[in-house]
């Protein structure tokens, strides 16, 4: 439960139809197993205490009494479990019979939620036996004698964990999800962050895909966790087959899914704090409307949930090759579309400074695509290489070949002499390779590009990427500045994949071979003299691995995770690659640089947003340039 994670379990016991004692024992066994594995929310299928397929046996007093008795026995038998359980049963109330879900915690039934929407088609005839549940919760008496107690009964109940602020749970039952306006919508609007669904939908060919889409889609629409437990083997097969298609979803992502027809328990770690954070940032999410809701407290021990969910090391990069290719093409198109509009609006050409590195290569490829979209001759792209003290033959030659293969107009403007004059003018010794020495080159290159743009009626196309902006790894008014920055929201880990995708699909062997060599070149600003003709200044040796910084950036800005939570999941994601000390060191570097370098992001040029994380001061990141990092660094023990 620490860091906002709560483990949920979706369980399907093998039941015996109408044998409540046997079913209760099976549920108890699975509940203890799930709790032993750290599950705090444990959900069983619809009518699981007796079986969904009892048909007219639901009307028998003997079975109704047995189901209620086994519910109370189950509550007592699981009193030591540190969990909130949901179990289905038929329950009589006010001379009506309801298809109900009972919530159990610490040895007591703490609430009962009746089903609202009763199917009455095909093989389903629930309306033959059951009444639709009323929204307003009323008390129902359970037990007898001095041990009897009242329990709220109604659809509009939210179960709130006293020890975990955002762990609020509500319930709907099977068909409730399949209707145009499911109860879970109003539950979420009333503050429920996790929805559980006790289901017994039958299986038919192709139905699993629709069911999965419903569960995942509802979790996305509600910005919620969704735990779906389905009936399976053990139900009567007189007319139907049940597949135990258990699922756990979170905000549009499927965390766990059972193999159908196996009665499998699945587990998922729901991040309730992140769900709450997503709702906070969505100004369109409805304000709390809890009129008529009953709020029931339950208790859990605060423990560190053993996490089984996977955290992608590269959150900006899709996992599968197919998704990656589709996403890369989409991003290249979005970058080019942004530039296309700016070119058509200004009726200007383009000037791109090319170094033979990844970022300038991507900017040149995007510019070429934008020119194609505009129907403009690529020779109108002025690709400028500006060799200086740190330029190597490898990067220089790659820059020249790229310009040639793309069809741009190549211009070479050596800047070493100009930089020497400038260093002399300001009284800086050329042998002093400090930041002044480096930035003088970066600013000279920007001046050259700007002046060529003025002369040719063109725009300077920015090459800097999102990761560099997050770290402030840019020379203020040097490579930091342009007239349109096409890479401004593309992180470094994604730049590499975009260039590789272009190489793989361009159909030009000469261009592809050059792009592959660029990909193999160490990332460097090349502002210090080479050593034996090789790059001497490697960016990641200085600021740290970009895959770590992109990971920190994503979970800080997109998920709003606190530092200690990012540290915890980074250790899981990068286990075996970086030890905890290395991760902590670079996290401290990240936060220090992120806060201290905001002034560079406060005056960024225009550029297209292509993903969910961006740092534009006009929209995505409105942050004071002099904000303190103390709270974030303190959380890391600094």
The residues annotated with a catalytic role in the active site are: 46, 115, 174
Q: In which order are the strands placed within the sheet that holds 157-161?
A: 253-257, 247-250, 225-230, 194-199, 168-173, 157-161, 294-298
For residues 86 and 64, the answer to whether their CB atoms sit within 8 Å is no
| Cα–Cα distance for residue pair 627/624, rounded to 1 Å | 5
150: three-class secondary structure by DSSP: strand
Helix and strand numbers (H, E) in the chain are 19, 20
> Cβ–Cβ contacts within 10 Å for residue 466, how many?
27
> CA of 428: how far to CAs of 155, 420, 437, 507, in Å?
76, 9, 8, 48
The gap from C-alpha 568 to its chain's centroid, in whole angstroms, comes to 16
| CB hemisphere CA count around 186 (13 angstroms) | 16
Tell me which residue of 53, 94, 92 sits closest to 71, measured CA to CA: 92
Give kind and range of the element (H or E) at residue 257.
Answer: strand 253-257
Task: Name 181's Cβ contacts closer than 8 Å, sequence gap at least 6.
Answer: none
* DSSP-derived secondary structure letter, 534: B
Query: What does the buried/exposed string (b/e) look like for 436-462 if buried means 16 or more CB atoms within 10 Å of the residue's CB?
Result: ebbbbbbbbbbebbbebbeebebbbbb
Backbone angles phi, psi at 619, to 5 degrees: -160, -65
Tell me which residue of 236, 271, 267 sits closest to 251, measured CA to CA: 271
Kind of pairing, strands 168-173 and 157-161?
A: antiparallel
Task: Name 398's Cβ contacts closer than 8 Å, sequence gap at least 6.
Answer: 356, 514, 517, 518, 521
For residues 170 and 218, the answer to whether their CB atoms sit within 8 Å is no
| Cα–Cα distance for residue pair 107/112, rounded to 1 Å | 15
> CA of 155: how far to CAs of 94, 115, 217, 238, 359, in Å?
16, 7, 22, 31, 55
Q: For the purposes of burial, counting CB atoms within 10 Å of the CB of 226, is it exposed (0-12), middle (13-18) or buried (19 or more)? A: buried
Name the one residue in this structure whose structure tokens are 């040097």. Answer: 478
Alpha helices in 163-203 (DSSP H): 183-189
484: three-class secondary structure by DSSP: strand
The gap from C-alpha 408 to its chain's centroid, in whole angstroms, comes to 39
Tell me which residue of 118, 117, 116 sits closest to 135, measured CA to CA: 116
What's the longest Cα–Cα distance across the chain?
A: 100
| Cα–Cα distance for residue pair 32/227, rounded to 1 Å | 18
Kind of pairing, strands 157-161 and 149-153?
A: unpaired
């Amino acid at each position: 439960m620490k860091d906002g994670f709560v483990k949920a379990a979706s369980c399907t016991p093998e039941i015996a139809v109408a044998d409540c004692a046997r079913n209760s024992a099976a549920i108890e066994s699975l509940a203890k197993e799930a709790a032993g594995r750290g599950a705090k929310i444990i959900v069983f299928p619809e009518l699981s205490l007796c079986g969904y397929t009892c048909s007219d046996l639901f009307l028998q007093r003997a079975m109704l009494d047995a189901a209620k008795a086994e519910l109370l026995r189950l509550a007592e038998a699981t009193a030591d479990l540190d969990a909130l359980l949901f179990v289905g049963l038929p329950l009589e109330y006010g001379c009506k019979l309801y298809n109900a879900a009972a919530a159990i915690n610490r040895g007591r039934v703490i609430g009962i939620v009746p089903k609202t929407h009763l199917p009455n088609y095909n093989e389903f005839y629930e309306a033959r036996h059951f009444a639709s549940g009323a929204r307003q919760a009323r008390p129902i008496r359970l037990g007898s004698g001095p041990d009897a107690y009242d329990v709220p009964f109604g659809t509009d109940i939210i179960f709130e964990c006293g020890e975990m602020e955002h762990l609020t749970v509500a319930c709907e039952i099977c068909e409730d999800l399949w209707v145009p306006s499911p109860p879970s919508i109003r539950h979420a609007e009333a503050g429920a962050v996790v929805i559980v669904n006790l289901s017994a939908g039958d299986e038919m060919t192709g139905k699993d895909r629709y069911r999965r889409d419903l569960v995942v889609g509802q979790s996305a629409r509600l910005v919620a966790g969704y735990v779906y437990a389905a009936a399976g083997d053990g139900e009567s097969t007189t007319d139907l087959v049940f597949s135990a298609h258990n699922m756990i979803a979170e905000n549009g992502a499927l965390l766990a899914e059972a193999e159908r027809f196996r009665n499998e328990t699945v587990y998922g770690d729901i991040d309730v704090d992140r769900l709450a954070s997503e709702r906070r940032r969505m100004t369109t999410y409805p304000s709390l409307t809890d009129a008529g809701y009953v709020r029931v407290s339950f208790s859990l021990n605060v423990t560190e949930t053993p996490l089984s969910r996977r955290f992608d090391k590269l959150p900006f990069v899709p996992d599968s090759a197919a998704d990656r290719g589709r996403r890369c093409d989409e991003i290249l198109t979005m970058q080019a579309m942004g530039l296309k509009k700016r070119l058509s609006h200004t009726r200007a050409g383009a000037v791109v400074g090319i170094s033979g590195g990844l970022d300038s290569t991507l900017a040149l490829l995007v510019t070429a695509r934008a020119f194609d979209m505009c129907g403009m001759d690529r020779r109108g792209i002025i690709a400028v290489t500006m060799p200086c003290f740190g330029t190597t033959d490898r990067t220089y030659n790659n820059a020249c070949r790229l310009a040639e293969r793309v069809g741009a107009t190549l211009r070479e403007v050596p800047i070493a002499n100009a930089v020497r004059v400038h260093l002399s003018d300001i009284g800086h010794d050329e042998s002093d390779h400090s930041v002044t020495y480096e930035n003088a080159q970066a600013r000279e290159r920007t001046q050259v590009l700007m002046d060529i743009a003025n002369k040719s009626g063109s725009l300077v196309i920015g090459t800097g990427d999102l990761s560099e902006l997050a770290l402030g790894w840019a020379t203020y008014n040097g490579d930091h500045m342009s007239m349109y920055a096409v890479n401004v929201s593309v992180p470094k880990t994604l730049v590499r994949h975009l260039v590789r995708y272009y190489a793989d699909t361009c159909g030009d062997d000469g261009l592809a071979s050059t792009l592959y060599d660029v990909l193999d070149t160490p990332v460097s600003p090349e502002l210090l003299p080479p050593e034996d003709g090789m790059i001497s200044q490697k960016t990641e040796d200085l600021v740290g691995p970009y895959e770590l910084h992109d990971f920190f950036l994503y979970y800080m800005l997109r998920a709003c995770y606190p530092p200690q939570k990012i540290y915890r999941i980074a250790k899981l994601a990068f286990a075996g690659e970086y030890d905890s000390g290395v991760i902590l060191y670079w996290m401290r570097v990240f936060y220090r640089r992120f806060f201290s370098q905001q002034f560079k992001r406060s005056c960024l040029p225009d550029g297209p947003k292509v993903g969910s994380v961006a740092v534009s001061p006009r929209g995505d990141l409105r942050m004071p340039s002099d904000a303190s990092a103390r709270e974030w660094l303190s959380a890391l023990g600094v």
